[in-house]
Amino acid sequence: MTLTTFFLVVLAALLHASWNLLAKKSGGGAAFVLLGNAVVMVLYSPLLLIWWLHSPSLVADITLKQWLIMAVSAAVHIGYSLSLQRGYQLADYGVVYPVARGTGPLLSSVVAIVFFGEAVNVFSGLGILAIVAGIFVLAGGLRLFSEPSERSRAGIRWGLTTGLFIAVYTALDGYAVKFLALSPLLLDYFSNFLRTIFMLPMFVRKRHEVRKEWRKNGKYALGIGAISPLAYILVLYAMQTAPISHVAPLREISMLFAAGFGARLLKEEQLKEKLLGAGLMVLGVIGLLWR
């Protein structure tokens, strides 16, 4: 992994933790997810238009296989967004986020190693385990199981569900950009487009609820719509130049930023555990870079 790729993923991690903080603050559900997708379509359309004017065959060159991958990815991303928002409605940011981010990279890395044939050495393997262990500590460690509350149980349940979706879409999208040569910008934009199409029936049935959600959380939808695609596009570009099994867990350095946000903005406690978890994650990052 080059230094440029490393910094791309770290920047993406900061943006990812930031938009998740906005998602937690919104407290929104399915209507909020639809709004976020619609905002992405509007905000990023000028960029796609400029690209299309420069390359008129931009859309025509997309193959049927690429469209199918984007359609499946869009469906998985909808499941991810809905489960994430549901988790934030029922549980703490400091539980849902780390459990989700810890489950996803572990599974996606295993998929990349087993099915895509990516190599993993002792140091990078230990790095993956250290990052996942650090996220587990940040989530509360064994206390999550020995002293569970209904709120923490909900956080674990929805975090694990979200993590499964993360693993699936990471493998799908990584395959699309790495092996099908699909542009990260096109993948993210058209995936959002398909998500919006898939959710249109809900908009028709609940348009009054969507308008109400806009009045309540429009500023959060705008913020997420602006930075969420950028965060993911940076990761997809990184996947084109580095092994998916390394990029996926390295993304989880976002927990360092999330821990800071939680302590400073959400007044979360357990500082020692957070420092231990952050330390494990730093060791994990060093392991990933040791080639």
Tokens representing 267 are 């007044």
What is the rounded average pLDDT of the residues 15-22? 89
**What is the per-residue pLDDT across 155-173, written as a single tens digit (0 to 9) for each?**
878 988 998 998 888 889 8
Which is more confidently placed, 18 or 254?
A: 18
pLDDT-derived band at 82 (thresholds 50, 70, 90) equals: very high
**Domain span including residue 86:** 3-289
pLDDT category at 194 given cuts 50, 70, 90 is very high
For 93-133, how does the pLDDT look when each residue is reduced to its tens digit (9 = 90+)? 877 887 787 776 667 667 767 777 777 778 878 877 887 78
Least confident of 148-152, 226-230, 252-256: 148-152
The total domain count for the chain is: 1
